[in-house]
C-alpha cells in the first residue's frame, strides 16, 4: 500500500490524500488521465511515475521542470517512507507513506524542502481541506523573522509585504463603504429549513465562516469560490487556487487590480479585492440569470443572426480587455459563462462571468486551465494569449448554433487534429469560414483581434438568412 498526501507548504499540513493498494504504476501530472491530477504552472502533463519494484517503490521523473526528493533533484530514485516529493523547484509537495500506516509523518524535520509561500490543493479537492487553509489554521510565521538579513532575503521580504498589503477598491456600492459590522442573529421563527436568508430581515440564517468583511454562506461548487453576504447584498468571492505558485498568486492579484478598475456593461461589477490570511480574494456582484447554455437546452440552437447579436458585445468587451497592459485574458469563455440577467441592465442583455478562476495563467509554461473543446492548443500548453479567447469564442459559436459541444466536430485532417466547422450540417459557408479561422490551431492564423471578429459578425448577420444550423 502507498499513500500520497498533498501538503500545504505554509502550515505543512495534509490537504488531500490518495491511497493505492493494487497499482504497480502511479502517474502524477496535470493531464486528466493521471492517477493524481495536479494543476500548477510548473507541473507537466505527465510529470512523474511511481513504479513498484518488488517490495520497493521507485520514482521516475518525466517532467520538463524536474522532480525533487527530499530537496534533491533526481531522475530516478528509491522512495522511502515519509519522503517528500516535489514536482519542479517551486511545485506541489507530496508526502510518501509506505505500508498500512497512512498517518502523515512529522514534517518539521523536512520544512526546508518545502517551497515558501505556496498554497497547495487540487482543483477537485474537498471543501473541508480548503476551509482549513483559509483563515482557520494558524497564521504562517513571518518570513522577515526567519530570513537572514541579506540583500536577496530583503528583496523577497519586500515582495511578501506587498502581497500582505493587497487591497483594492473597485466599484464598491456606496453603502458598503462604511465600517462593516456583523448583523445581529435573526429572531424570526418561521424560516423554512432550507432557506439561506430570512425572508423578513434578509440576514443569512446559516453562516459557514467569515472572510474579511463578508459572511460566507456556501461554496459555489468550485475550489475556493464562495457565495458571500454583506450588508444586504450577495456577492461572488473568488480566491486563487490553493495549488497556486507565488507567481500565480501575483498574477491573480494583478488581474484583480485590473478588473477592479475596468467598467464595461458586459462585465460584472468588481467591488474590491483583499487579502485574508495567506490568500487573496476578488469580490464581484452576483449575477442571477440564465446562461446561454441553458437557453439553448430550453429553446434549441440559435440561428446566425441570434448568435451574432449575443456575441458582438462580447467582442467589444474583449477588445477593451486585450488592450490592457498586460492584456486581461478570460480563458473560460463558453456558453455556461455567458449569462442573460434576470434583472435587465442598462445597455446589454449579456454578462460574461467566470473571471479570475482558481488558477490564473502567466507566461509560465506547464499549466492547463480551461475546458476541453473551448481551450486553444497554446492555452493547453500553458502559454495563453489574447488569441486564446478568440478560439473559445469560435467554439462557443459552435455550441450556440448546434446544441452540441465543439469537440463533436473535432477530427484528424491531413495534418492536425482540430475543429472542422464544415462538418456542421446546413451551416452558412460564411460562418464556417469564421469559425474555422477562430479555432485554427495556430494562433497566428486566427483573426488579429476581437474588433475584426465583431466586424465579421456584423457583416455575416447582415447578409445571412435567419436559419438555424440544425434546420
Eight-state DSSP code of residue 139: P
pLDDT computed for residue 335 by the predictor: 97
Could you list the pLDDT tens digit for every one of the 471 residues in the chain? 899 988 865 556 677 888 998 899 999 988 878 898 887 767 888 999 999 988 899 999 998 889 999 889 999 999 999 999 999 877 788 999 997 654 444 433 333 333 333 333 333 322 222 222 222 222 333 333 333 333 343 444 444 444 447 899 999 887 787 767 777 777 777 666 677 777 777 788 888 899 989 999 999 876 789 999 998 899 999 998 777 788 888 889 999 999 999 999 999 999 999 998 888 999 999 999 999 999 999 999 999 999 999 999 999 999 999 999 999 999 999 999 999 998 888 788 999 999 875 333 444 434 445 567 899 999 888 889 999 999 999 999 999 999 999 999 999 888 888 999 999 999 999 999 999 999 999 999 999 999 999 999 999 988 866 544 444
Name which of 16, 15, 7, 38 is nearest 108 in CA terms. 7
Overall fold of domain 156-285: Phosphorylase Kinase; domain 1 (3.30.200)
SS3 per residue for 308-338: HHHHHHHHHHHHHHHCCCCCCCCCCCCHHHE
Residue that is written with C-alpha cell 440569470 in the block: 289
Q: Find out whether 138 and 11 touch, Cβ atoms under 8 Å.
A: yes
pLDDT computed for residue 9 by the predictor: 56
Do the first three CATH levels of 156-285 and 289-463 match, i.e. the same topology?
Answer: no
Q: Find out whether 155 and 147 touch, Cβ atoms under 8 Å.
A: no
What are 44's three cell numbers?
A: 507537466
Q: Does the pTM exceed 0.85?
A: no
CA atoms within 13 A on the CB side of 19: 9
What does 432-463 look like in DSSP terms, one character per residue? HHHHHHHT-SSGGGS-SSHHHHHHHHHHHHHH
Count other C-beta atoms under 10 Å from residue 326's C-beta.
12
Rounded to whole angstroms, the Cα distance separating 224 from 145 reads 29
Rounded to whole angstroms, the Cα distance separating 70 from 235 reads 42
What does 86-122 look like in DSSP terms, one character per residue? EESTTS-EEEEEESS--SPPP-GGGGGGSPTT-----
pLDDT computed for residue 300 by the predictor: 96
What are 349's three cell numbers?
A: 442583455
What are 309's three cell numbers?
A: 447579436
**Cβ burial, residue 329 (10 Å; 0-12/13-18/19+):** buried
pLDDT computed for residue 371 by the predictor: 62
Cis upstream peptide for 326 (omega within 30°): yes
Sign of the four-CA dihedral 9, 15, 18, 19: positive
Rounded to whole angstroms, the Cα distance separating 134 from 224 reads 9
Rounded to whole angstroms, the Cα distance separating 332 from 372 reads 10
Name which of 35, 50, 60 is nearest 122 in CA terms. 35
Residues 6+ apart with CB under 8 A from 312: 454, 457, 458
What are 59's three cell numbers?
A: 520514482
Q: Where are the domains of the chain?
A: 2-120, 156-285, 289-463
Q: Find out whether 439 and 418 touch, Cβ atoms under 8 Å.
A: yes
Name which of 371, 249, 385 is nearest 321 in CA terms. 385
What are 122's three cell numbers?
A: 487540487
Overall fold of domain 2-120: Tumour Suppressor Smad4 (2.60.200)
Overall fold of domain 289-463: Transferase(Phosphotransferase); domain 1 (1.10.510)
Amino acid at each position: 500500500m502507498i499513500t500520497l498526501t498533498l501538503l500545504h507548504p505554509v502550515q505543512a499540513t495534509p490537504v488531500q490524500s490518495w491511497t493505492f493498494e493494487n497499482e504497480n504504476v502511479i502517474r502524477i501530472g496535470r493531464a486528466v488521465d493521471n492517477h493524481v491530477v495536479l494543476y500548477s504552472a510548473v507541473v507537466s502533463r505527465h510529470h512523474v511515475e511511481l513504479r513498484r519494484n518488488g517490495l520497493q517503490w521507485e520514482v521516475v521523473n518525466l517532467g520538463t521542470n524536474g522532480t525533487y526528493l527530499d530537496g534533491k533533484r533526481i531522475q530516478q530514485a528509491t522512495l522511502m517512507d515519509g519522503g517528500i516529493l516535489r514536482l519542479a523547484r517551486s511545485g506541489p509537495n507530496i508526502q510518501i507513506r509506505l505500508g498500512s500506516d497512512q498517518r502523515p509523518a512529522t514534517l518539521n524535520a523536512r520544512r526546508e524542502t518545502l517551497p515558501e509561500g505556496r498554497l497547495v490543493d487540487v482543483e477537485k479537492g474537498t471543501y473541508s481541506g480548503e476551509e482549513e487553509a483559509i483563515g482557520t489554521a494558524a497564521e504562517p510565521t513571518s518570513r522577515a523573522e526567519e530570513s537572514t538579513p541579506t540583500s536577496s532575503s530583503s528583496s523577497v521580504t519586500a515582495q511578501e509585504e506587498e502581497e500582505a498589503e493587497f487591497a483594492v477598491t473597485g466599484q464598491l456600492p456606496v453603502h458598503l463603504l462604511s465600517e462593516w459590522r456583523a448583523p445581529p442573529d435573526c429572531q424570526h421563527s418561521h424560516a423554512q429549513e432550507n432557506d439561506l436568508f430570512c425572508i423578513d430581515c434578509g440576514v443569512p440564517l446559516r453562516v459557514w465562516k467569515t472572510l474579511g468583511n463578508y459572511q460566507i454562506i456556501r461554496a459555489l461548487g468550485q475550489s475556493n469560490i464562495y457565495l458571500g453576504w454583506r450588508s444586504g447584498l450577495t456577492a461572488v468571492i473568488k480566491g486563487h487556487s490553493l495549488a497556486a505558485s507565488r507567481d500565480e498568486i501575483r498574477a491573480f492579484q494583478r488581474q484583480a487590480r485590473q478588473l477592479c478598475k475596468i467598467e464595461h456593461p458586459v462585465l460584472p461589477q468588481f467591488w474590491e479585492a483583499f487579502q485574508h490570511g495567506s490568500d487573496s480574494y476578488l469580490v464581484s456582484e452576483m449575477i442571477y440569470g440564465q446562461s446561454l447554455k441553458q437557453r439553448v437546452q430550453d429553446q434549441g440552437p440559435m440561428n446566425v443572426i441570434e448568435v451574432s447579436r449575443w456575441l458582438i458585445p462580447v467582442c467589444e468587451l474583449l477588445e477593451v480587455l486585450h488592450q490592457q497592459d498586460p492584456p486581461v485574458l478570460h480563458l473560460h469563455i463558453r456558453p455556461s459563462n455567458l449569462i442573460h440577467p434576470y434583472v435587465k441592465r442598462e445597455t446589454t442583455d449579456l454578462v460574461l462571468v467566470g473571471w479570475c478562476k482558481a488558477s490564473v495563467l502567466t507566461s509560465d509554461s506547464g499549466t492547463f486551465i480551461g475546458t476541453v473543446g473551448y481551450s486553444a492548443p497554446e492555452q493547453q500548453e500553458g502559454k495563453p494569449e489574447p488569441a486564446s479567447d478568440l478560439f473559445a469564442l469560435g467554439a462557443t459559436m459552435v455550441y450556440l448554433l448546434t446544441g452540441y459541444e465543439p469537440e463533436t466536430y473535432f477530427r484528424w485532417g491531413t495534418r492536425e487534429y482540430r475543429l472542422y466547422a464544415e462538418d456542421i450540417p446546413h451551416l452558412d459557408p460564411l460562418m464556417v469560414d469564421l469559425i474555422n479561422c477562430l479555432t485554427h490551431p495556430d494562433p497566428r492564423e486566427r483573426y488579429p483581434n476581437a474588433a475584426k471578429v465583431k466586424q465579421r459578425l456584423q457583416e455575416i448577420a447582415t447578409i445571412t438568412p435567419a436559419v438555424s444550423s440544425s434546420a
